Amino acid sequence: KAGVTQTPRYLIKTRGQQVTLSCSPISGHRSVSWYQQTPGQGLQFLFEYFSETQRNKGNFPGRFSGRQFSNSRSEMNVSTLELGDSALYLCASSPMGTGGLETQYFGPGTRLLVL
Amino acid sequence: KNEVEQSPQNLTAQEGEFITINCSYSVGISALHWLQQHPGGGIVSLFMLSSGKKKHGRLIATINIQEKHSSLHITASHPRDSAVYICAAGTGTASKLTFGTGTRLQVTL
């Protein structure tokens, strides 16, 4: 099976712009989680989608949003970009997303730089 | 105080040494995950455990639920083990992970 894929891999934006990142989970996986990794804050949970519904959300402002399509592919959107949004954005998929009791399979990440 | 704490933050070892990385957590967990992140950024899941001990090759992970503590051991370390090792607590009923700050391991010849 193909692994988790994320596009684009690298992105440069300027403050105030918006960005959309895409994640394709492993075939058959219905849960997609998004994480932000920065040198200062480390890895932080953004949100999780399961069967097109947001099931859990981390402590991030409303500028961060996401959605999941019927084929389980997921997108996350960040509006009105700030310098502090520069980070590695990782998505991970798992079959059912059952309470952290499943192994999560991570994509390679999208590295976003906000200038 | 972070909900998941790791020690040490940095670790340098010589090839062949036995390595231990520790993880303590203060939240109730459904499972404890150990992850490996190489310099390119990609993360690989090494172990997921909710009790006892698991072994995969030279890697061993243990967890003590009563003490809320887990350890990752690497036997006969090798330079290719150089990476950041992250423990993460899986909690609740959704796939939300709370991460430790990571341990940067460098294994030299």
Q: Are A43 and A68 in contact (CB under 8 A)?
A: no
- Percentage with pLDDT > 90 across chain A: 83
A4-31 confidence digits (pLDDT tens): 999 999 999 999 999 999 999 999 999 9
Q: What is the pLDDT, as a whole number, of residue B93? A: 59
Q: Locate B22 and state its tokens.
A: 């520790």
Q: Specify whether the backbone of A9 is left (phi greater than 0), alpha (psi in -120 to 50) or beta.
A: alpha
Give the residue-averaged pLDDT of A107-113. 96
Ranges A42-51, A67-76, A80-89, B9-18: which has the least confidence: A42-51
Q: What is the pLDDT, as a whole number, of residue A3? A: 93
Q: What is the pLDDT, as a whole number, of residue B95? A: 67
B77-98 confidence digits (pLDDT tens): 999 999 999 999 987 655 688 8
Which chain B residues have a beta carbon less than 8 Å from that of A44?
99
Is the CB of B94 less than 8 angstroms away from the CB of A102? no
Low-confidence ranges of chain B (pLDDT < 50): none
Q: From the CB of residue B44, how many other CB atoms can be counted at a distance below 10 Å?
A: 12
* A56 has pLDDT over 90: no
β-strand pairing of A31-38 with A87-94:
antiparallel
Q: What is the pLDDT, as a whole number, of residue B12? A: 97
Is the CB of A97 less than 8 angstroms away from the CB of B94? yes
Q: What is the pLDDT, as a whole number, of residue A109? A: 96
Radius of gyration of chain B (CA): 13
* A99 has pLDDT over 60: no
Q: Closest partner residue to B101 among A42, A50, A99, by Cβ?
A: A42
The Cα B98–Cα B109 span in angstroms is 34
Residue keyed to tokens 């590295």: A111
Q: Are B33 and B48 in contact (CB under 8 A)?
A: yes
Residues in Cβ contact with B63 at an 8 Å cutoff, skipping those fewer than 6 apart: B32, B49, B50, B51, B52, B53, B69, B70
Q: Are A110 and A89 in contact (CB under 8 A)?
A: yes
Q: Does A43 touch chain B (CB under 8 A)?
A: yes
Q: Closest partner residue to A100 among B31, B41, B44, by Cβ?
A: B31
Q: In chain A, what's the furthest Cα-to-Cα distance?
A: 39
Residues in Cβ contact with A74 at an 8 Å cutoff, skipping those fewer than 6 apart: A22, A23, A25, A32, A34, A49, A66, A67, A68, A91
Q: Does A39 touch chain B (CB under 8 A)?
A: no
